[in-house]
Structure 1
Amino acid sequence: MYQPKTAVIYYSSTGNVHRLAEAAIEGAEKAGAETRLRKVRELAPEAAISASDAWSAHVEATTDVPTAEVEDLVWADVVIFGAPTRYGNVPSQFQQFLDLTGPVWAAGKLADKVYSAFTSSQTLHGGQESTLLSLYTTMYHWGGIVVPPGFTDPITFQSGNPYGASHVSGGGDFPGEIDLEAARYQANRAVDMAAALAKGFSPAAM
């Protein structure tokens, strides 16, 4: 049985995106994928981190999560990115990770993979769509196959974001079950799409 290798690579300062990433891993594994959960390297100064109890607590709580490397992108058949919104774009930590991919992109090692993304913001529509679109633009440059959830399942109608799973932290400090289920579904769909493409027939025929 084909098991698409799936990397969920995320950045999270206070834990919301981390929990969505864990849910995405759950969805990918349910679809039969071999998975890697990786966090993007923290670049913020210690003074900024220690000034926030939630931020410093999350950094301490996730010391066991391996740091994302470009090799994780090369390894994967499916890549799912998770990043909070910063002024309608990804945080600098995540952008720095993307900026390291030039050599493997130039070698064609990021093309023809299935990609998807999810996000979290302080307020509803507080830059969620533009953050996800900026991530998808990078995937287009790589020659990736972008697979958003779309309105393809009832959970997406409940979550309200066809671009990707999302969470509004202003509406609660932790992703709710709808947010988590949307992340599970999104990852499941991406893995199913990769498996269908590997078999050489239309996913609609599955």
Structure 2
Amino acid sequence: MSNVRLAVIYYSTYGTNHRMAQVAVEAAQTAGAEVRLLKVPETAPAGVVNGQDAWRAQAELTADVPEVTHADMEWANAYLFSAPTRYGVSASQLRAFIDTLGPLWAEGKLANKAVSAMTSAQNAHGGQETTLIGLYTTMIHWGAIIVAPGYTDPVIYAAGGNPYGTSVSATGGPLSEESQAAIRHQARRLVEFAGKIAS
């Protein structure tokens, strides 16, 4: 029985990061972790969301996914974040949630927990690496333990070669087999090291 309690926390406008999170959940559960799939709250006005068919459809599709809370952050001893890149940083919806975590950080409740991150952008050089490094900078402030995939498996090269975390080009379609393999590897690696840290 694994001692890992993993929160897979995502934001997804059109569905790519939601699909990435789902692949990670399945892999982490297979690796023995107790997993919660959670989304960050939408901060865009309802009129904007409803004004775009694809955005509205994604919101409706995931209406039953619970929003992440501070209680979830305390419950978990590992985190996997996934959010799209916006101008080289993570989507503002994820940053807005992170900005609420000051009280937990101040009490040390985010420290010593394994964490990893994933992202997407419209094109291959759309800022994925800076997005991941930016997230990790925040998590270093928490005192969390970064578990990046590195070049620890050939699937990393097949999926584009990003050692910081799985990143995909958001096409609106299904994830490639290579991307799914990289996500599964990253999730398993996170569970493995989270278990070692928690023991």
TM-score band by shorter chain is over 0.9
| Counterpart for residue 89 of structure 2 | 89
Instruction: Tell me which residue corresponds to 2:28.
Output: 28
Identity %: 51
Q: State the Cα distance separating 1:142 from its structure 2 match.
A: 0.2
Q: SS where residue 63 of structure 1 aligns?
A: coil
Partner of 2:146: 146
Aligned to 2:70: 70
Letter in 1 for 2:117: A
CA distance in 1, matches of 2:115, 2:11: 16
> Aligned-pair distance for 1:44?
0.7
- Give the SS at the match of 2:81: strand
Counterpart residue number, 2:48: 48
User: What 5-or-longer segments of structure 1 have no aligned partner?
Assistant: 200-206
1:38-72 C-alpha deviation (Å, 9 max, x unpaired): 00101111222122211110000001100111221
C-alpha RMSD of the superposition:
1.1
Question: Whole-Å Cα distance in 2 between the matches of residues 156 and 129 of structure 1?
Answer: 14
Q: Distance in 2 between the 1:75 and 1:169 partners?
A: 31
Structure 2 counterpart of 1:31, one-letter code: A
Specify the code of the residue in structure 2 equivalent to 1:89: V
Q: How far did residue 176 of structure 1 move?
A: 1.4
2:80 counterpart residue number: 80
Deviation at 1:153, TM superposition (A): 0.6
The structural deviation recorded for 1:174 is 3.0
Say if 2:27 is the partner of 1:12: no
Which residue matches 1:202?
none
Whole-Å separation in 2 of the counterparts to 1:17 and 1:66 = 15
1:114 corresponds to 2:98 = no
Q: CA separation in 2, counterparts of 1:88 and 1:174?
A: 23
In the alignment, is the contact (CA less than 8 A) between 2:113 and 2:197 conserved in 1?
no
- What's the CA shift for 1:196? 2.2
Shift of 1:149: 0.5
CA drift of 1:10 comes to 0.4
Q: CA deviation at 1:37?
A: 0.3
- CA apart distance, 1:173: 2.9
